[in-house]
Amino acid sequence: MLTVSGLLEGRPESAGLPLELVSGATGVDRRIASPHIQKTGLALAGFDHYLQPGRILVFGESEIRFLDGLEPAARRQALTAAFAHDIPCVLVTAGLDPSADLRASADRHRVPLLRTPVPTPVAIAKLTTVLEDALALREVVHGVLMDILGLGVLIVGESGIGKSECALDLVVRGHRLVADDVVELRRRGETAVIGTCPELTRHHMEVRGLGVINIRELFGVASTRASKRIELVVRLERWPDGSAARDGDRLGLDDAFYEVLGLKVPLVQMPVAPGRSLAILVEVAARNQILRARGRHAARELAARLERALGQGGDR
């Protein structure tokens, strides 16, 4: 949950949304539960039951002008009805000056009254972006996140299986490191999971036998990046002793997925064994996923050709 004070302390001006607390300071502990903004001018005309709790209420020029045109008693009644709902705060846009009644009602009901000089449409868009980031679901996973040919690849597996060594090989091959060992994940919207590295360990990697190394200093600025959307998960798995191949779908006809923060991300299960170049295999897996995203599925295309060939052979 995000409070109004947390929103103000989160430096929204860095996102182009300067906010000023005008009144209602005693209610800054109110919680913002949703990134969706409500601009329900009808709430001031008696239809306040449409107001949703936990969502910021925006007053633009039309709402401010409507309030200014009401008789004082009617204005106070309309504000009382609106503030009776569990709204976290009210944002006045376009630098408009709230009336004395609006300020007093905000103080009386302990509803923070904020003001921004940004026009209403831009303010709503920027505030939504700020809230989506602040309210995003978050998780920390043990793994390595790489940018391979523009594709965000999360490499996971048991400790000591070779994730960092694989990532180092990929960096040498010209790909970019996002995070090693600890990957911070946050969900953005309904379709994307973004991975970042904790500030303390950014650009660093721990490799057994070498210790901690600074990838950016060793390979240059282009070898790292701050964050990346996760579009493929590669899980490294040990082969059972004495086995020649792992069990499962060897042709790759069946799609597998890895659930991250409630979203399913394409998964490749990569067997680990002596003599296998993991970096090359992970890079090829990334290239193959890029082709699949474009509608090219090599295994299914080959299976379809085989079926056509068998069908033609049976007709003879």
Active site residue 142: yes
Chosen domain end from 118, 134, 150:
134
Based on the domain organization, do 123 and 163 belong to the same domain?
Answer: no
189-232 residue pLDDT tens: 778 999 999 999 999 999 988 899 999 999 999 999 999 999 99
Instruction: Tell me whether residue 69 is in a domain.
Output: yes
Q: What is the pTM of this model?
A: 0.72
Give the CA count within 13 Å in the CB-facing half-sphere of 72: 3
**Which among 85, 163, 175, 186 is annotated as catalytic?**
163
**Which among 142, 276, 305, 308 is annotated as catalytic?**
142
Q: What is the pLDDT along the chain (316 residues), one digit of tens a residue?
A: 799 999 999 999 999 999 999 999 999 999 999 999 998 777 777 777 778 899 999 999 999 998 888 898 998 898 998 888 889 999 999 999 999 999 999 999 999 999 999 999 999 999 999 998 888 889 999 999 999 999 999 999 999 899 999 999 999 999 999 999 999 999 987 789 999 999 999 999 999 888 999 999 999 999 999 999 999 999 999 876 645 445 445 667 778 999 999 899 999 999 988 888 999 999 999 999 999 989 888 888 888 888 888 888 665 5
Chosen domain end from 82, 102, 134:
134
Instruction: Tell me whether residue 311 is in a domain.
Output: no
Chosen domain end from 117, 134, 151:
134
**Which among 48, 101, 169, 181 is annotated as catalytic?**
181
Based on the domain organization, do 119 and 169 belong to the same domain?
Answer: no
**Which among 250, 294, 315, 316 is annotated as catalytic?**
250
CATH of the domain at 114: 3.40.1390.20
Based on the domain organization, do 114 and 153 belong to the same domain?
Answer: no
Structural domain total, the chain = 2
Active site residue 181: yes
CATH of the domain at 276: 3.40.50.300
Encode burial over 124-153: b for 16+ CB neighbours within 10 A, e otherwise: bebbebbbbebbbeeeebebbbbbbeebbb
Based on the domain organization, do 111 and 164 belong to the same domain?
Answer: no
Instruction: Tell me whether residue 316 is in a domain.
Output: no
Based on the domain organization, do 251 and 152 belong to the same domain?
Answer: yes
CB 91 within 8 A of CB 60: no
Counting residues of the chain whose pLDDT is more than 90, the rounded percentage is 65
Residue 315 has a pLDDT of 59
**Other CB atoms within 10 A of residue 41 CB:** 14
Based on the domain organization, do 29 and 89 belong to the same domain?
Answer: yes
Based on the domain organization, do 281 and 142 belong to the same domain?
Answer: yes
Nearest to residue 46, comparing CAs of 70, 22, 13, 10?
70
What tokens were used for 259?
């659930």
Residue 301 has a pLDDT of 84
Q: For residue 243, give its domain range.
A: 138-301
16-65 residue pLDDT tens: 999 999 999 999 999 999 999 998 777 777 777 778 899 999 999 999 99
Based on the domain organization, do 262 and 228 belong to the same domain?
Answer: yes
